[in-house]
Amino acid sequence: MSVAMPPMQEERPQAPRAAVRPTPFATPILDVRRYNFWYGITQALFDLSLTVPRQAVTALIGPSGCGKSTFLRSINRLNELIPHTRHTGDILLEGVSVFSRGTDPVALRQVVGMVFQQPNPFPKSIFDNVAYGPRINALCAERDMPERVERALRRAALWDEVKDRLQAPGTSLSGGQQQRLCIARALANEPEVLLMDEPCSALDPAATQRIEELMVELKQAFSIVIVTHNMQQASRVSDYTGFFYLGRIIEFGDTKQLFTRPSDERTEAYITGRFG
Amino acid sequence: MRLRGGFFCAMPRCYRSVTDAEYVSDRMTTLPIHPATTPHAVPAPAPTPQSEWRTLRGTNVGDRLYRATLTALALVLPLLLVTLLAELVVGAWPAIKRFGLPFVWTSVWDPVAGVFGAAPMIFGTLASSLLALLIAVPLALGVAIYLTEFSPKWLRQPIAFLVELLAAIPSVVYGLWGIFVLIPFLRSYVVPPLRATLGWTPLFGGVFYGNSLLAGGIILAIMIVPYIAAVSREVLLAVPASQREAALGMGATRWEAVWTAVVPYGRAGLIGAVILGLGRALGETMAVTMVIGNRHDISLSVLQPAYTMAAAIANEFSEAVSDLHLAAMFEVGLVLFVVTVIVNACARLLIWRVARGTAVGSRAL
């Protein structure tokens, strides 16, 4: 896919609030337009429209089963692998539809990395785990691989802990380290977007804090979309937040604003803990 | 619950303060406040908890009986194995004494002269099993991968059922099918092109009569495919979806996901499946003896007849003419036993080596 150079940090668009778009971002990395999704005859997502800004952390919150993960897995088209699913509407990545005929889902998933709820390293060495993506996508020659692996591990704040045992199995690490290994594995592909599906729900508070710090660092280079059940987490790490409820997006906007002055009473009820 | 020293230790003061004030409610009169029953006055209970445990254990006859029965049952199988081995050694003793170790590497088999060497049968057994694995493993793995990863859902159960049905066919039926279908088919369609292209190699030399190592290997392959396929399918089904998603999410194609994530994750279990098939191939008798040609000879060519240990025992045991011949048959059985044990031991070592880290099925094997 041809992808434009992301603008510098200070160019991050500042809210043209009165413009045509209701959401405050001039050049979003993801643009979702009236997206509907069905599992069989059950509709899971209803008429989603939102834009995800680049080089920022966007959090999706909402009660269980409200479609956050389904939406996340629509972005990299992982949902397609489930039989009997269908969708209408469109998701644009850098202005190009991820569903267009010219878009290869395999190439798409290289540009849109994903980190899952449970750490799922392969039963290979730490090195081979990180080198997995560059190898299958033939992103660099094998002689450049150590450099690329080191860069990914450094970005995932794991390098210092594993640099002496890169040949140890990835499964021998602790849960938090495994999750950072999975992040490093996703980063080794040099994606544009990093999707994180409740990346901390299986981790202890210390490991969670490390990952949260990591996300704040990573948004310098990547656009991050994170699904979380943890509202404190959303308010801590994200710049923008979307509230999902029953397959619909109820409210989307600046995190501070959404958490302090929600415009929808359902959002307010959820963030104040009255349901969900 | 029994009240013992310690439980009330912190309490007496407040009870006393209540009673000292001479205020006693209806409910409180039932509490043990009497000086004789306060913890300080109570002596240690006579039967200690430990001795109670002992008596409980000693009196439970049913438990002991159950334990003894299970121990006995668990020991029966190893005992059976040892008895079997001893019986084989005793039966083979005259031959062992006469021929010694060279029995396993000499090739003459002459019941009339009383000279026996089992090398051709050992070779035939190993070669036919190896050939069977070469054919069956890709086939069975392909079936398993197709069924778990690629086939439409409605097709999975019927195909799995039909493949497993192959295991239910009696081996003598396979033998008949081999004689009347497989060998004519090989003779007219498979061997001529093979000889035309690869006839110059020693593997495909000589005249093809029909009964051959190749026919035996193919029959064996068909017989072990259902075992390998069924176990492989279970192993692949047990690979967690998160591994597939991890690979696909990194930009792997489905094919790459299978080969770089799913199969490596289940590798220990898959090797176990192959070993199961190998064990079956080594011991298979009837179908093989019907198509392999039963000739005491070592030939590199798969087109030539061969012999296996199991086939030899089946064919010659009832017709053994002398005591020495009988003892030689026993020794063949012993060698087959030992070869099987060695192959399985090597396989187990292999599984242990590759099962480092987490791998599906390694614990079950």
Residues A72-123 pLDDT 10s: 999 999 988 888 899 999 999 988 899 988 888 888 999 999 999 999 999 8
Question: A114 CB near a chain B CB, below 8 Å?
Answer: yes
Average pLDDT value over all residues in chain B: 83
Q: How does residue B364 score in pLDDT terms, banded at 50, 70 and 90?
A: very low
Which of A118, A124, A132, A179 to probe the B interface (max B CBs under 10 A)?
A: A132
Beta-bridge partners for A39? A42, A85
pTM: 0.77
- The answer to whether residue B51 scores a pLDDT higher than 80 is no
Alpha-carbon dihedral angle through residues A145, A151, A152, A158, given to the nearest 10 degrees:
120
- The answer to whether residue A12 scores a pLDDT higher than 80 is no
Check residue B201 and give its pLDDT: 87
CB contact under 8 A, A182 and B246: yes
Q: How does residue A204 score in pLDDT terms, banded at 50, 70 and 90?
A: confident
Q: Give how far A136 is from chain B: nearest CA, Å.
A: 6
**Domains of chain A, each with CATH number or no CATH:** 26-122+191-271 (3.40.50.300)
Nearest-Cα residue of chain A relative to residue B241: A120
Check residue A21 and give its pLDDT: 39
Q: Which residues of B touch A168 (CB under 8 A)?
A: none
Question: B360 CB near a chain A CB, below 8 Å?
Answer: no
Q: Which residues of B touch A109 (CB under 8 A)?
A: 248-251
Question: A5 CB near a chain B CB, below 8 Å?
Answer: no
Of B162, B143, B313, B322, nearest in space to B233 by CA:
B143
Q: Which residues of A touch B269 (CB under 8 A)?
A: none
For residues A270 and A61, give the distance between their C-alpha atoms in angstroms, rounded to a whole number: 9
Question: How many whole angstroms from its chain centre is CA B90?
Answer: 28
The Cα-based distances of B34 to A252, B25, B37, B40 in angstroms read 71, 15, 6, 11
Which of A81, A82, A148, A179 to probe the B interface (max B CBs under 10 A)?
A: A81
Check residue A103 and give its pLDDT: 85
- The answer to whether residue A234 scores a pLDDT higher than 60 is yes
B30-39 LR contacts (CB < 8 Å, sep 24+): B32/B3, B38/B8, B38/B12, B39/B4, B39/B5, B39/B6, B39/B7, B39/B8, B39/B9, B39/B12
Check residue B349 and give its pLDDT: 86
Could you count the other beta carbons within 10 Å of the beta carbon of residue A7? 13
Q: Rg of chain B's alpha carbons, rounded to an integer?
A: 34
Question: A3 CB near a chain B CB, below 8 Å?
Answer: no
For residues A45 and B94, give the distance between their C-alpha atoms in angstroms, rounded to a whole number: 81
For residues A129 and A152, give the distance between their C-alpha atoms in angstroms, rounded to a whole number: 11
- Which residues are CB-contacts of A35 (< 8 A; sequence separation ≥ 6)? A45, A47, A48, A49, A71, A74, A87, A88, A89, A90, A91
